[in-house]
Amino acid sequence: MLDSQKWRRLNGQKISQPILNAVEQTIKSEHAQGHKLKVCIGTDSQTYHDQIEFATVIVFLREKKGGFMFINNSRILNSMSLKERMITEVAKSVEVAYSLCDLLDRYHVELEVHADINTDPGFQSNTALKEAMGYILSMGFVFKAKPDAFASSSCADKVI
């Protein structure tokens, strides 16, 4: 399923090879340049009338040297509750993380999964916090929520 998704870079350049190959090639290239990497995966969404637009990002962080991302946009013609939408965002991120985790382990690249869910109970998205955290942690991934979830709340948010 993941290979059928259309990924691109921030400049709009399409990633024509399977995402697993593109990530591996990127890791090899970055390591050859002496960069230590961390990967953060996150998804954000926006509702527009009868559809929901999702953006999932794979953020590559170079230790003390900035970063870059791969982007996937998708759309669902459906309406759902806020909580269901938050869990769908997490599911999209977990799917990508799961498909990449063996590769990242092989190259000793840290992985975090970011959820665009507020830890402050005063925000509506907080209703999905426990389920999202449980889902991500039960898969064995490092979990980050707002305000520390920049991959979903800043990076993915900008490319919806």
Specify the number of domains making up the chain.
1
pLDDT of 1 > 70? The answer is no
CA atoms within 13 A on the CB side of 158: 12
Cα–Cα distance, 57 to 44 (Å, whole number): 9
pTM of the predicted model, to two decimals? 0.94
Range of the domain at 51: 2-158
Strand partners, 100: none
146 in Cβ contact with 74 (< 8 Å) = no
pLDDT of 2 > 80? The answer is no
pLDDT of 79 > 90? The answer is no
- Which of 65-74, 95-104, 125-134 shows the lowest mean pLDDT across its residues? 125-134
Q: Which of 111, 102, 113 is nearest to 136 (CA)?
A: 113
